Structure 1
Amino acid sequence: MDDKKSWLDEPCPIARTVGIVGDAWSWLILRDALAGVSRFDQFRKSLGIAPTILTRRLALLVEEGLLEKRLYSQRPPREEYVLTDAGRDLLPVLFMIGAWGKRHRGEGKLTTFVDAETGVEIRPVAVDEASGAPIGSRPIRAAGAPVAEAPAAGKGDTGKA
Structure 2
Amino acid sequence: MPNNSVLTDEPCPVARSVDVIGDRWSLLIVRDAFDGACRFGELQRNLGVARNILSDRLRKLVEAGILDMQAASDGTAYQQYVLTAKGESLFPVVVALRQWGEQHLFKRGERHSVLIDKRTGKPIPLMKPTARDGGGLPPSATEVRKLA
Q: TM-score range by the shorter chain?
A: 0.7 to 0.9
Please, what TM-score do these two structures have when normalized by structure 2? 0.85
Distance 1:5 1:71, change over 3 A: closer
Query: CA RMSD of the aligned region, Å?
Result: 2.3
Partner residue of 1:53?
A: 53
* 1:127-159: CA deviation from partner (whole Å, max 9, x where unpaired): 23634343425422211337xxxxxxxxxxxxx
Using the alignment, how far apart are the partners of 1:25 and 1:135 within structure 2?
31
Using the alignment, how far apart are the partners of 1:105 and 1:130 within structure 2?
31
| Number of residue-to-residue matches in the alignment | 143
After superposing on structure 2, the runs of 4+ consecutive aligned residues of structure 1 that deviate more than 4 Å are none
How far did residue 9 of structure 1 move? 3.0
Partner residue of 1:141?
A: 143
Tell me the SS of whatever aligns to 2:79. strand
Is 2:35 the partner of 1:9?
no
Normalized per residue, the structure richer in helix is 2
How far did residue 113 of structure 1 move? 1.1
Match for residue 125 of structure 1 among 127, 133, 138: 127
Which protein is bigger by CA-based radius of gyration? 1
Alignment of 1:87-98 (within 5 A): 87-98=87-98
Distance 1:137 1:9, change over 3 A: closer
Tell me the SS of whatever aligns to 1:36. coil
Tell me the SS of whatever aligns to 1:80. strand
Please, what TM-score do these two structures have when normalized by structure 1? 0.79
Is 2:109 the partner of 1:99?
no
Structure 1 residues without counterparts, runs of 5 or longer: 147-161
How far did residue 21 of structure 1 move? 0.6
Partner residue of 1:116?
A: 118
Tell me the SS of whatever aligns to 1:92. helix
Partner residue of 1:81?
A: 81
Alpha-carbon contact 1:38-1:81 (below 8 Å) kept:
yes
How far did residue 76 of structure 1 move? 7.0
> What is the percent sequence identity of the aligned residues?
35
- AA partner of residue 125 (structure 1): M
Distance 1:123 1:8, change over 3 A: farther
